[in-house]
Chains A and B, each alone.
Chain A
Amino acid sequence: MSTRRAIDEIVTLRAVDGVHDLGGMHGFGAVPIETGEPLFHAPWEGRVWALLGAVMPATTIDRFRWTIEQMPPAEYLTSGYYARWLWAIERLANEQGLLTGSAEPAPIARPKPSSRPATARWQRGERVRVLNRVSAGHTRVPRYLRRHVGTVERAAFSWPPPAESAATGRYGNAEVVYTVAFAAADVFGPDHDHTLTADLGESDLEDSVT
Protein backbone atom coordinates (compact mmCIF):
# COMPACT_ATOMS: atom_id res chain seq x y z
CA MET A 1 0.00 0.00 0.00
CA SER A 2 1.49 3.34 -0.97
CA THR A 3 1.86 6.15 1.50
CA ARG A 4 0.53 8.57 -1.09
CA ARG A 5 -2.97 8.43 -2.47
CA ALA A 6 -4.49 11.05 -4.66
CA ILE A 7 -7.77 12.32 -3.23
CA ASP A 8 -10.23 13.24 -5.93
CA GLU A 9 -11.22 16.86 -5.92
CA ILE A 10 -14.90 17.47 -5.34
CA VAL A 11 -16.75 17.69 -8.62
CA THR A 12 -17.93 21.27 -8.47
CA LEU A 13 -21.63 20.68 -8.85
CA ARG A 14 -22.10 22.31 -5.45
CA ALA A 15 -25.20 20.22 -5.00
CA VAL A 16 -27.80 21.40 -2.50
CA ASP A 17 -30.68 19.03 -3.08
CA GLY A 18 -28.76 15.94 -2.19
CA VAL A 19 -29.73 12.44 -1.21
CA HIS A 20 -28.72 13.25 2.38
CA ASP A 21 -32.03 15.15 2.72
CA LEU A 22 -33.94 12.03 3.73
CA GLY A 23 -36.83 13.37 5.81
CA GLY A 24 -40.17 11.96 4.67
CA MET A 25 -38.76 9.67 1.97
CA HIS A 26 -40.44 6.33 1.43
CA GLY A 27 -38.75 3.04 0.76
CA PHE A 28 -36.52 2.54 3.77
CA GLY A 29 -37.35 -0.44 5.94
CA ALA A 30 -37.43 -1.20 9.64
CA VAL A 31 -35.09 0.78 11.89
CA PRO A 32 -32.01 -1.39 12.58
CA ILE A 33 -32.05 -1.46 16.37
CA GLU A 34 -28.98 -3.06 17.88
CA THR A 35 -28.65 -4.21 21.47
CA GLY A 36 -25.35 -4.09 23.31
CA GLU A 37 -23.95 -1.78 20.64
CA PRO A 38 -20.22 -1.00 20.90
CA LEU A 39 -19.01 2.61 20.66
CA PHE A 40 -17.21 1.71 17.42
CA HIS A 41 -18.05 -1.32 15.29
CA ALA A 42 -14.46 -1.71 14.07
CA PRO A 43 -11.13 -0.17 15.14
CA TRP A 44 -10.92 1.90 11.94
CA GLU A 45 -14.16 3.71 12.86
CA GLY A 46 -12.53 4.99 16.04
CA ARG A 47 -9.54 6.23 14.05
CA VAL A 48 -11.82 8.10 11.63
CA TRP A 49 -13.64 9.64 14.60
CA ALA A 50 -10.31 10.81 16.06
CA LEU A 51 -8.90 12.05 12.72
CA LEU A 52 -11.75 14.52 12.38
CA GLY A 53 -9.75 16.48 14.95
CA ALA A 54 -7.01 17.02 12.37
CA VAL A 55 -9.22 18.99 9.99
CA MET A 56 -11.84 20.66 12.19
CA PRO A 57 -9.69 23.39 13.81
CA ALA A 58 -9.39 25.21 10.47
CA THR A 59 -12.94 24.81 9.18
CA THR A 60 -16.63 24.86 10.14
CA ILE A 61 -19.01 22.02 10.91
CA ASP A 62 -21.10 23.30 7.99
CA ARG A 63 -18.25 22.81 5.53
CA PHE A 64 -17.74 19.29 6.91
CA ARG A 65 -21.45 18.50 6.40
CA TRP A 66 -21.50 20.15 2.98
CA THR A 67 -18.47 18.10 1.93
CA ILE A 68 -20.23 14.86 2.89
CA GLU A 69 -23.24 16.07 0.89
CA GLN A 70 -21.06 16.20 -2.25
CA MET A 71 -20.72 12.38 -2.23
CA PRO A 72 -22.33 10.84 -5.31
CA PRO A 73 -25.80 9.67 -4.23
CA ALA A 74 -25.23 5.96 -4.82
CA GLU A 75 -22.00 6.10 -2.81
CA TYR A 76 -23.68 8.01 0.03
CA LEU A 77 -26.43 5.40 0.29
CA THR A 78 -24.01 2.47 0.30
CA SER A 79 -21.51 3.98 2.76
CA GLY A 80 -21.75 3.74 6.53
CA TYR A 81 -21.61 6.74 8.85
CA TYR A 82 -17.86 6.70 9.47
CA ALA A 83 -17.12 5.89 5.82
CA ARG A 84 -18.94 9.13 4.92
CA TRP A 85 -16.89 10.99 7.54
CA LEU A 86 -13.72 9.50 6.05
CA TRP A 87 -14.68 10.66 2.54
CA ALA A 88 -15.05 14.22 3.83
CA ILE A 89 -11.96 14.19 6.05
CA GLU A 90 -9.83 13.08 3.06
CA ARG A 91 -11.09 16.04 1.05
CA LEU A 92 -10.83 18.61 3.84
CA ALA A 93 -7.28 17.47 4.62
CA ASN A 94 -6.47 17.87 0.95
CA GLU A 95 -7.98 21.36 0.62
CA GLN A 96 -6.19 22.48 3.79
CA GLY A 97 -2.86 21.28 2.34
CA LEU A 98 -2.30 18.81 5.18
CA LEU A 99 -1.41 15.90 2.88
CA THR A 100 1.45 17.63 1.11
CA GLY A 101 2.85 20.16 3.57
CA SER A 102 3.63 20.59 7.23
CA ALA A 103 2.18 24.12 7.60
CA GLU A 104 -0.68 24.15 10.10
CA PRO A 105 -3.63 26.27 8.93
CA ALA A 106 -4.71 28.88 11.46
CA PRO A 107 -7.60 27.81 13.67
CA ILE A 108 -10.82 29.73 13.07
CA ALA A 109 -12.98 31.58 15.61
CA ARG A 110 -16.09 29.71 16.74
CA PRO A 111 -19.45 30.99 17.95
CA LYS A 112 -20.52 30.24 21.53
CA PRO A 113 -23.95 28.95 22.49
CA SER A 114 -25.90 32.12 23.21
CA SER A 115 -28.81 32.86 25.43
CA ARG A 116 -32.13 33.85 23.90
CA PRO A 117 -31.83 36.61 21.29
CA ALA A 118 -32.69 40.00 22.76
CA THR A 119 -34.67 41.04 19.71
CA ALA A 120 -36.33 38.97 17.02
CA ARG A 121 -38.38 39.71 13.90
CA TRP A 122 -41.06 37.12 14.78
CA GLN A 123 -42.57 36.26 18.17
CA ARG A 124 -44.25 33.17 19.56
CA GLY A 125 -47.51 32.38 17.77
CA GLU A 126 -46.74 34.26 14.56
CA ARG A 127 -47.14 32.42 11.27
CA VAL A 128 -44.16 32.15 8.93
CA ARG A 129 -43.57 30.52 5.56
CA VAL A 130 -40.43 28.55 4.72
CA LEU A 131 -38.74 29.99 1.66
CA ASN A 132 -38.08 27.73 -1.29
CA ARG A 133 -34.56 29.02 -1.66
CA VAL A 134 -33.06 26.74 -4.28
CA SER A 135 -29.61 28.17 -4.80
CA ALA A 136 -26.09 26.93 -5.10
CA GLY A 137 -24.49 26.31 -1.74
CA HIS A 138 -25.52 24.70 1.49
CA THR A 139 -28.85 24.73 3.27
CA ARG A 140 -30.23 23.24 6.45
CA VAL A 141 -33.83 23.62 5.31
CA PRO A 142 -35.15 20.11 4.71
CA ARG A 143 -37.04 19.62 1.44
CA TYR A 144 -40.15 18.32 3.18
CA LEU A 145 -40.72 21.70 4.88
CA ARG A 146 -40.10 24.08 1.98
CA ARG A 147 -43.02 26.41 1.17
CA HIS A 148 -44.92 25.23 4.24
CA VAL A 149 -46.43 27.59 6.79
CA GLY A 150 -45.67 27.03 10.45
CA THR A 151 -46.07 28.72 13.81
CA VAL A 152 -43.14 30.27 15.66
CA GLU A 153 -42.59 28.56 19.01
CA ARG A 154 -39.71 30.79 20.00
CA ALA A 155 -36.72 32.77 18.83
CA ALA A 156 -34.35 30.10 20.11
CA PHE A 157 -30.78 31.31 19.65
CA SER A 158 -28.44 33.18 17.31
CA TRP A 159 -25.95 31.45 15.04
CA PRO A 160 -24.02 32.23 11.83
CA PRO A 161 -25.94 31.15 8.69
CA PRO A 162 -24.77 27.71 7.48
CA ALA A 163 -24.59 28.63 3.77
CA GLU A 164 -21.82 31.15 4.45
CA SER A 165 -19.96 28.90 6.92
CA ALA A 166 -20.04 26.05 4.40
CA ALA A 167 -18.85 28.18 1.48
CA THR A 168 -16.04 30.01 3.25
CA GLY A 169 -15.01 27.66 6.05
CA ARG A 170 -15.40 30.64 8.41
CA TYR A 171 -18.28 31.74 10.62
CA GLY A 172 -19.97 34.99 9.62
CA ASN A 173 -22.40 37.26 11.46
CA ALA A 174 -25.06 35.49 13.47
CA GLU A 175 -28.77 35.55 12.64
CA VAL A 176 -31.75 34.62 14.80
CA VAL A 177 -32.79 30.96 14.55
CA TYR A 178 -36.46 30.15 15.24
CA THR A 179 -38.05 26.94 16.41
CA VAL A 180 -41.07 26.62 14.11
CA ALA A 181 -43.89 24.09 14.51
CA PHE A 182 -45.74 22.52 11.56
CA ALA A 183 -48.83 20.32 11.49
CA ALA A 184 -47.82 16.99 9.95
CA ALA A 185 -51.27 16.93 8.33
CA ASP A 186 -50.23 20.00 6.27
CA VAL A 187 -46.91 18.45 5.31
CA PHE A 188 -47.73 14.77 4.77
CA GLY A 189 -51.52 14.62 4.48
CA PRO A 190 -54.65 14.47 6.63
CA ASP A 191 -54.03 11.05 8.16
CA HIS A 192 -51.03 12.38 10.10
CA ASP A 193 -51.80 13.80 13.55
CA HIS A 194 -48.35 14.65 14.94
CA THR A 195 -46.54 17.99 15.15
CA LEU A 196 -43.15 18.63 13.56
CA THR A 197 -40.65 21.26 14.63
CA ALA A 198 -37.50 22.47 12.94
CA ASP A 199 -34.96 25.20 13.74
CA LEU A 200 -34.81 27.65 10.85
CA GLY A 201 -32.80 30.82 10.32
CA GLU A 202 -34.45 34.18 9.79
CA SER A 203 -33.14 34.28 6.20
CA ASP A 204 -35.01 31.04 5.41
CA LEU A 205 -38.41 32.42 6.50
CA GLU A 206 -40.90 35.09 5.41
CA ASP A 207 -44.15 36.53 6.77
CA SER A 208 -47.18 34.40 6.08
CA VAL A 209 -50.36 36.31 5.27
CA THR A 210 -52.61 33.27 5.54
Chain B
Amino acid sequence: MNLTPEERVEILERQLHDQGHVDPDTIDAHITAIEEATEDGTGPSTALGAKVVARAWNDPQFRARLLDDAVAAVAEYASQAVPLAVLADTEAVHHVIVCTLCSCYPSGLLGNPPAWYKSFEYRSRVVREPRAVLAEFGMELPEDMALHVHDSTAEQRYLVLPMRPAGTQGWSEERLAALVTRDSMVGTGWPLSH
Protein backbone atom coordinates (compact mmCIF):
# COMPACT_ATOMS: atom_id res chain seq x y z
CA MET B 1 0.00 0.00 0.00
CA ASN B 2 1.90 3.00 -1.26
CA LEU B 3 0.01 6.04 -0.14
CA THR B 4 1.20 9.57 -0.75
CA PRO B 5 2.05 11.70 2.30
CA GLU B 6 -1.06 13.76 1.50
CA GLU B 7 -3.24 10.64 1.71
CA ARG B 8 -1.49 9.44 4.86
CA VAL B 9 -1.93 12.72 6.72
CA GLU B 10 -5.62 12.74 5.78
CA ILE B 11 -6.05 9.25 7.23
CA LEU B 12 -4.01 10.07 10.34
CA GLU B 13 -6.01 13.23 11.00
CA ARG B 14 -9.30 11.33 10.55
CA GLN B 15 -8.17 8.58 12.95
CA LEU B 16 -7.14 11.14 15.56
CA HIS B 17 -10.41 13.00 15.05
CA ASP B 18 -12.46 9.77 15.37
CA GLN B 19 -10.89 9.18 18.80
CA GLY B 20 -11.45 12.79 19.86
CA HIS B 21 -7.79 13.85 19.93
CA VAL B 22 -7.84 16.54 17.26
CA ASP B 23 -10.39 18.92 15.84
CA PRO B 24 -9.95 19.86 12.15
CA ASP B 25 -11.08 23.42 12.88
CA THR B 26 -8.34 23.76 15.52
CA ILE B 27 -5.79 22.43 13.03
CA ASP B 28 -6.98 25.00 10.46
CA ALA B 29 -6.73 27.77 13.08
CA HIS B 30 -3.17 26.77 14.03
CA ILE B 31 -2.04 26.85 10.41
CA THR B 32 -3.70 30.22 9.79
CA ALA B 33 -2.15 31.62 12.98
CA ILE B 34 1.42 30.63 12.08
CA GLU B 35 0.96 31.92 8.52
CA GLU B 36 -0.26 35.29 9.82
CA ALA B 37 2.35 35.61 12.58
CA THR B 38 5.09 34.80 10.06
CA GLU B 39 3.72 37.30 7.57
CA ASP B 40 3.25 40.28 9.89
CA GLY B 41 6.08 39.63 12.37
CA THR B 42 3.82 39.38 15.44
CA GLY B 43 5.18 35.89 16.06
CA PRO B 44 8.59 34.26 15.54
CA SER B 45 9.69 35.28 12.04
CA THR B 46 12.45 36.97 10.10
CA ALA B 47 10.77 40.29 10.91
CA LEU B 48 10.88 39.59 14.66
CA GLY B 49 14.54 38.55 14.54
CA ALA B 50 15.33 41.68 12.52
CA LYS B 51 13.83 43.85 15.28
CA VAL B 52 16.11 42.22 17.84
CA VAL B 53 19.21 42.67 15.65
CA ALA B 54 18.37 46.30 14.83
CA ARG B 55 17.90 47.10 18.50
CA ALA B 56 21.24 45.48 19.35
CA TRP B 57 22.88 47.71 16.70
CA ASN B 58 21.39 50.85 18.27
CA ASP B 59 21.37 50.00 21.98
CA PRO B 60 24.73 48.91 23.50
CA GLN B 61 23.14 47.84 26.78
CA PHE B 62 20.64 45.61 24.98
CA ARG B 63 23.47 44.17 22.88
CA ALA B 64 25.42 43.33 26.05
CA ARG B 65 22.38 41.64 27.60
CA LEU B 66 21.70 39.75 24.37
CA LEU B 67 25.21 38.33 24.27
CA ASP B 68 25.21 37.50 27.98
CA ASP B 69 21.76 35.92 28.37
CA ALA B 70 19.78 35.84 25.12
CA VAL B 71 16.75 34.03 26.55
CA ALA B 72 16.19 36.83 29.06
CA ALA B 73 17.04 39.60 26.58
CA VAL B 74 14.53 38.46 23.93
CA ALA B 75 11.77 37.59 26.42
CA GLU B 76 9.91 40.82 25.63
CA TYR B 77 9.80 39.76 21.93
CA ALA B 78 9.20 36.01 22.28
CA SER B 79 9.53 33.54 25.12
CA GLN B 80 11.96 30.72 24.44
CA ALA B 81 11.33 27.06 25.23
CA VAL B 82 15.02 26.16 24.89
CA PRO B 83 18.36 27.93 25.50
CA LEU B 84 19.45 30.53 22.96
CA ALA B 85 22.94 31.91 22.30
CA VAL B 86 23.77 34.91 20.12
CA LEU B 87 27.01 34.92 18.12
CA ALA B 88 28.33 38.39 17.29
CA ASP B 89 30.16 38.79 13.98
CA THR B 90 33.24 41.05 13.97
CA GLU B 91 35.79 42.16 11.38
CA ALA B 92 37.86 39.17 12.52
CA VAL B 93 35.32 36.34 12.70
CA HIS B 94 32.15 35.31 10.91
CA HIS B 95 29.68 32.79 12.34
CA VAL B 96 27.38 30.36 10.53
CA ILE B 97 24.92 27.89 12.06
CA VAL B 98 23.73 24.41 11.08
CA CYS B 99 22.15 21.31 12.55
CA THR B 100 23.80 18.28 10.92
CA LEU B 101 21.67 15.73 12.82
CA CYS B 102 18.22 17.12 12.09
CA SER B 103 17.23 20.74 11.46
CA CYS B 104 17.46 22.62 14.79
CA TYR B 105 16.96 26.32 14.10
CA PRO B 106 16.26 29.38 16.30
CA SER B 107 12.54 28.90 15.57
CA GLY B 108 11.52 30.55 18.83
CA LEU B 109 12.71 33.83 17.31
CA LEU B 110 12.91 33.30 13.51
CA GLY B 111 9.99 30.92 12.91
CA ASN B 112 10.24 27.86 10.69
CA PRO B 113 13.54 27.27 8.86
CA PRO B 114 13.82 27.56 5.08
CA ALA B 115 14.00 24.37 3.02
CA TRP B 116 17.70 24.81 2.23
CA TYR B 117 18.57 24.85 5.96
CA LYS B 118 16.84 21.45 6.29
CA SER B 119 18.41 20.03 3.11
CA PHE B 120 20.86 17.11 3.11
CA GLU B 121 23.18 19.26 0.98
CA TYR B 122 23.51 22.03 3.58
CA ARG B 123 23.62 19.69 6.59
CA SER B 124 26.34 17.46 5.15
CA ARG B 125 28.55 20.09 3.53
CA VAL B 126 28.65 23.26 5.63
CA VAL B 127 30.70 21.70 8.44
CA ARG B 128 33.27 20.38 5.96
CA GLU B 129 33.48 22.97 3.20
CA PRO B 130 31.80 26.09 4.57
CA ARG B 131 33.54 28.51 2.23
CA ALA B 132 32.27 26.58 -0.81
CA VAL B 133 28.74 26.51 0.63
CA LEU B 134 28.79 30.23 1.46
CA ALA B 135 29.98 30.95 -2.09
CA GLU B 136 26.76 29.31 -3.32
CA PHE B 137 24.90 31.94 -1.29
CA GLY B 138 27.00 34.64 -2.97
CA MET B 139 29.23 35.23 0.06
CA GLU B 140 32.95 35.73 -0.39
CA LEU B 141 34.76 36.01 2.95
CA PRO B 142 37.89 38.10 3.25
CA GLU B 143 40.98 35.85 3.42
CA ASP B 144 41.86 37.03 6.92
CA MET B 145 38.37 36.56 8.38
CA ALA B 146 38.09 33.47 10.59
CA LEU B 147 35.05 31.27 10.00
CA HIS B 148 33.26 29.52 12.87
CA VAL B 149 30.63 26.88 12.04
CA HIS B 150 28.28 26.03 14.91
CA ASP B 151 26.56 22.63 14.85
CA SER B 152 23.34 22.79 16.92
CA THR B 153 23.78 19.35 18.43
CA ALA B 154 21.94 19.99 21.71
CA GLU B 155 18.91 22.04 22.75
CA GLN B 156 20.71 25.39 22.56
CA ARG B 157 19.75 27.38 19.48
CA TYR B 158 21.97 29.97 17.81
CA LEU B 159 21.35 33.35 16.24
CA VAL B 160 24.03 35.27 14.36
CA LEU B 161 24.28 38.99 15.15
CA PRO B 162 25.67 40.40 11.90
CA MET B 163 27.84 43.52 11.75
CA ARG B 164 26.02 46.79 11.35
CA PRO B 165 26.31 48.00 7.75
CA ALA B 166 28.55 51.02 7.21
CA GLY B 167 26.92 54.37 6.63
CA THR B 168 23.89 53.75 8.83
CA GLN B 169 24.78 56.05 11.74
CA GLY B 170 21.74 57.74 13.17
CA TRP B 171 19.28 55.36 11.54
CA SER B 172 16.17 54.37 13.50
CA GLU B 173 15.64 50.78 14.60
CA GLU B 174 12.79 50.46 12.13
CA ARG B 175 14.97 51.61 9.23
CA LEU B 176 17.83 49.34 10.35
CA ALA B 177 15.52 46.32 10.70
CA ALA B 178 14.72 46.53 6.98
CA LEU B 179 18.40 45.72 6.29
CA VAL B 180 18.37 42.49 8.32
CA THR B 181 17.73 39.41 6.20
CA ARG B 182 16.93 35.92 7.43
CA ASP B 183 20.17 34.59 5.95
CA SER B 184 22.21 37.26 7.76
CA MET B 185 20.92 35.87 11.08
CA VAL B 186 21.93 32.32 10.08
CA GLY B 187 25.31 33.34 8.69
CA THR B 188 24.69 32.55 5.03
CA GLY B 189 24.31 36.19 4.00
CA TRP B 190 25.30 39.74 4.86
CA PRO B 191 22.74 42.33 5.86
CA LEU B 192 21.61 44.65 3.07
CA SER B 193 23.65 47.84 2.79
CA HIS B 194 20.80 50.25 2.09
A binds B: yes
- Shortest Cβ gap from A179 to chain B (Å): 8
A1 contacts the other chain (CB 8 A)? yes
* Beta-carbon contacts under 8 Å, A159-210 to B: 159, 162, 177, 179, 181, 184, 188, 192-201
Chain A positions 18 through 62: 1 when the CB is less than 8 Å from some CB of chain B, otherwise 0: 001111111111111110010111101011111101100000010
The answer to whether A30 and B127 have CB atoms under 8 Å apart is no
| Number of chain B interface residues as a range | 35 or more
Residues of A within 8 A of B9 (CB): 44, 47-48, 51, 86
How many A-B residue contacts, CB cutoff 8 Å?
Answer: 216
Which residues on A sit within 8 Å (CB–CB) of B5?
44, 48, 80, 82-83, 86
Residues of B within 8 A of A33 (CB): 116, 136-137
Residues of the B chain whose Cβ atoms lie less than 8 Å from the Cβ of A194: 130-131, 146-149
Interface residues on A, range: 35 or more
B151 to chain A, nearest CB (A): 5
B153 touches A100 (CB 8 A): no
Closest Cβ–Cβ distance, residue A95 to chain B (whole Å): 14
| Chain A residues closer than 8 Å to B156, beta-carbon distance | 156-157, 177, 179, 199
A4–B125 alpha-carbon span in the complex (Å): 41
Residue B38 interfacial (CB < 8 Å): yes
> 1/0 contact trace for A127-155 toward B, CB 8 Å?
00000000000001110100000000000
6 smallest beta-carbon distances between A and B, as pairs = A23-B100, A199-B154, A22-B124, A194-B147, A44-B6, A25-B124
